[in-house]
A and B are shown apart, each in its own frame.
Chain A
Amino acid sequence: MKRKKVVMDAEGIERSLTRIAHEILERNRGTDNLIIIGVRKGGVSLAERLREKMSAIEGAEVMLGMLDITLYRDDVLSTERRPEIEKTYIPFPLDHKRVVLVDDVLFTGRTIRAAMDALMDFGRPAVIQLAVLIDRGHRELPIRADFIGETLPSSLWENISVNLTDTRSADEVVIEEG
């Protein structure tokens, strides 16, 4: 795969996340009953960063969970090898909670469909919202995001990857030709 171009750098990602954090707090009127849940694998570190920002802004703890949606995928049995299952960590009931799902790239919408089905097995949330860093279009299901870092129209044969690093200085979003 050949690298094509960087569409978002570390500062851009940081600014987007700061704005999304404020938007989530505004829409939900603070952190009461708010739970941030990262979708494995790409959404987990974004969810952690959003949680960190929201806690700093509000001076209150925000609950954080992570969700592996593999077992809810509509294609889980269609490949030759079973996909790897990672741990789901939602150690609190979701009844009456305001859940913000976080993923890196919103594409066909199938992952989010699976994630919503999974969340319903943990209780009955008051509301589920969706935050993504990149919305690349090509939806195959009637799903949209509530909070979007950047909308990037892409062609189907392109690959968009969000590369986050521990130090954060080399974070980037790149579009690669497939």
Chain B
Amino acid sequence: MGTQAGTSPARLKVENTMGLSRKDMLGIRDLSREEIDLILDTAESFKEISNRTIKKVPTLRGKTVITLFFEASTRTRASFEIAAKRLSADTINISASTSSVVKGETLIDTARTLEAMNPDIIVIRHSAAGSAHILAGLLKQSIINAGDGAHEHPTQALLDMLTIREKKGSIEGLKIAIVGDIAHSRVARSNIYGLIKMGAAVVICGPAMMIPRGIERMGVTVCHTMKDALRDADVVMMLRMQFERQEKNLFPSLREYAQNFSLNRDSIKSAKDDVIVMHPGPINRGVEITSEIADGPSSVILEQVTNGVAVRMALLYLLSGGAK
């Protein structure tokens, strides 16, 4: 028999009385623990659809989802598009190159134009922090933030939390290390908000220049060596070195970075034996993680991608229809 969704009294109460009553999905910071649980439970039920002979349900027939990407993306955009299509929504993808965009004004113009075409949900990625919030305030459509600058990337954090929950049963009480360029990482920020809310102990690690000052206020512990950060870790989340976001080189050389902060067969030894290794992709092989580890038995990197589709299906479903 398939595993049935657990029904703790706390969760039942939420499902019966609260639901996800918000128009937009802008960041993990605004979400309650109950809302995160609801999204993850829904995503878990949606996973099965992708294994059917006919990988499509009719739920969002006649709805239109626009993905509006001002930054390069392969997996996030494809994941949203696949998620929307598996729910029978129509999808339109719009790419805009950042170079031709004057921040703010053009974004608003674009948004107004799209609104006139009457879509139901707009998924936006933009290099400016707060861009999804601007659209959400301006438009009646549901807005999903697919990454706004170095601010938040909520669907990535949700798919990460789904993966952790599946592998470890629960997020509560786990020790989770996030390693890399924390300062430039919206993935790290969204995950820190989410994982702390869900009761994990979060340790962050990276070169001093890449750790924002005062980040301890978010509830994390800062370590400056891999050995300290990974000690007894249940989960290690490696971040992509984001060369495109760094204005100047923040470290002397890639080689030196890799020597100190790469996840490899030696550095992983301080973690627990059953540690899972995560990475939001795309991977810089040999920089933040070796191929041996990325492709090894502890890696759940491809499961993260699979879960991404389920989490995005859940969000599109939960944000659709009804009285707004």
Q: Which residues of A contact B (CB under 8 A)?
A: 64, 66, 68, 71-72, 76-82, 84-89, 91, 93, 117-118, 120-123
Asked whether A80 lies within 8 Å of B322 as measured between CB atoms, the reply is: yes
Asked whether B2 lies within 8 Å of A89 as measured between CB atoms, the reply is: yes
B4 on the A face (CB < 8 A): yes
Q: How far is the CA of A84 from the CA of B38 in the complex (A)?
A: 9
Asked whether B58 lies within 8 Å of A82 as measured between CB atoms, the reply is: no
From 297 to 324 in chain B, residues with beta carbon under 8 angstroms from any chain A beta carbon are 317-318, 320-323
* Chain B interface, number of residues (Cβ within 8 angstroms): 32
Asked whether A80 lies within 8 Å of B48 as measured between CB atoms, the reply is: no
In the complex, besides A84-B42, A85-B45, A88-B49, 19 extra interface pairs with C-beta distance below 8 angstroms are A68-B45, A71-B59, A71-B87, A71-B317, A76-B59, A77-B60, A77-B322, A79-B321, A80-B322, A82-B317, A82-B318, A86-B4, A86-B45, A87-B4, A87-B5, A87-B45, A89-B2, A117-B58, A121-B54
| B contact residues around A86 at 8 Å (CB) | 4-5, 45
Nearest CB to that of B3 among chain A residues?
Answer: A87
How far apart are A52's CB and chain B's nearest CB, in angstroms? 13
Asked whether A78 lies within 8 Å of B45 as measured between CB atoms, the reply is: no
Nearest CB to that of A77 among chain B residues?
Answer: B321
How far apart are B124's CB and chain A's nearest CB, in angstroms? 22
Fill in one digit per residue for B26-47: 1 if any A CB lies within 8 Å of its CB, else 0: 0000000000000001101110
Asked whether A81 lies within 8 Å of B21 as measured between CB atoms, the reply is: yes
Q: Which 3 A-B pairs have the closest CB atoms?
A: A77-B321, A81-B19, A89-B2
Q: How far is the CA of A91 from the CA of B52 in the complex (A)?
A: 9
Q: How far is the CA of A166 from the CA of B252 in the complex (A)?
A: 66
Asked whether B53 lies within 8 Å of A123 as measured between CB atoms, the reply is: yes
Ordered by A's residue number, 22 sampled pairs between the chains whose C-beta atoms are within 8 Å are A66-B2, A68-B45, A71-B57, A71-B87, A72-B58, A76-B59, A77-B60, A77-B322, A78-B322, A79-B322, A81-B20, A81-B322, A82-B20, A85-B46, A86-B45, A87-B4, A87-B45, A87-B48, A89-B48, A121-B53, A122-B52, A123-B53
Count of inter-chain pairs, beta carbons less than 8 A: 76
CB-contact partner of B52 in A76, A77, A84, A121, under 8 A: A121
How far apart are B114's CB and chain A's nearest CB, in angstroms? 21
Q: How far is the CA of A81 from the CA of B20 in the complex (A)?
A: 7
Q: How far is the CA of A86 from the CA of B318 in the complex (A)?
A: 14
How far apart are B70's CB and chain A's nearest CB, in angstroms? 29
Q: How far is the CA of A80 from the CA of B17 in the complex (A)?
A: 12
Q: How far is the CA of A153 from the CA of B58 in the complex (A)?
A: 33
How far apart are B56's CB and chain A's nearest CB, in angstroms? 7
| B contact residues around A122 at 8 Å (CB) | 52-54
Q: Which residues of B contact A (CB under 8 A)?
A: 1-5, 15, 18-21, 41-42, 44-46, 48-49, 52-54, 56-60, 87, 317-318, 320-323
Q: How far is the CA of A11 from the CA of B18 in the complex (A)?
A: 38
A-side interface mostly: loop
| B contact residues around A120 at 8 Å (CB) | 54
How far apart are B25's CB and chain A's nearest CB, in angstroms? 13
Nearest CB to that of B314 among chain A residues?
Answer: A85
| B contact residues around A88 at 8 Å (CB) | 45, 48-49
Q: How far is the CA of A69 from the CA of B21 in the complex (A)?
A: 22
| B contact residues around A72 at 8 Å (CB) | 57-59
Asked whether B19 lies within 8 Å of A82 as measured between CB atoms, the reply is: yes
How far apart are B156's CB and chain A's nearest CB, in angstroms? 22
Asked whether A78 lies within 8 Å of B321 as measured between CB atoms, the reply is: yes
| A contact residues around B323 at 8 Å (CB) | 80
Nearest CB to that of B59 among chain A residues?
Answer: A71
How far apart are B63's CB and chain A's nearest CB, in angstroms? 8
How far apart are A41's CB and chain B's nearest CB, in angstroms? 10
How far apart are A36's CB and chain B's nearest CB, in angstroms? 13
| A contact residues around B44 at 8 Å (CB) | 87
User: Max chain B CB contacts within 10 Å: which of A78, A87, A91, A117?
Assistant: A87
Asked whether B317 lies within 8 Å of A85 as measured between CB atoms, the reply is: yes
Asked whether A121 lies within 8 Å of B56 as measured between CB atoms, the reply is: yes
Nearest CB to that of B61 among chain A residues?
Answer: A77
Asked whether A82 lies within 8 Å of B321 as measured between CB atoms, the reply is: yes
Q: How far is the CA of A82 from the CA of B323 in the complex (A)?
A: 11
| B contact residues around A93 at 8 Å (CB) | 53
CB-contact partner of A84 in B15, B54, B58, B320, under 8 A: B15
| A contact residues around B57 at 8 Å (CB) | 71-72, 118, 121
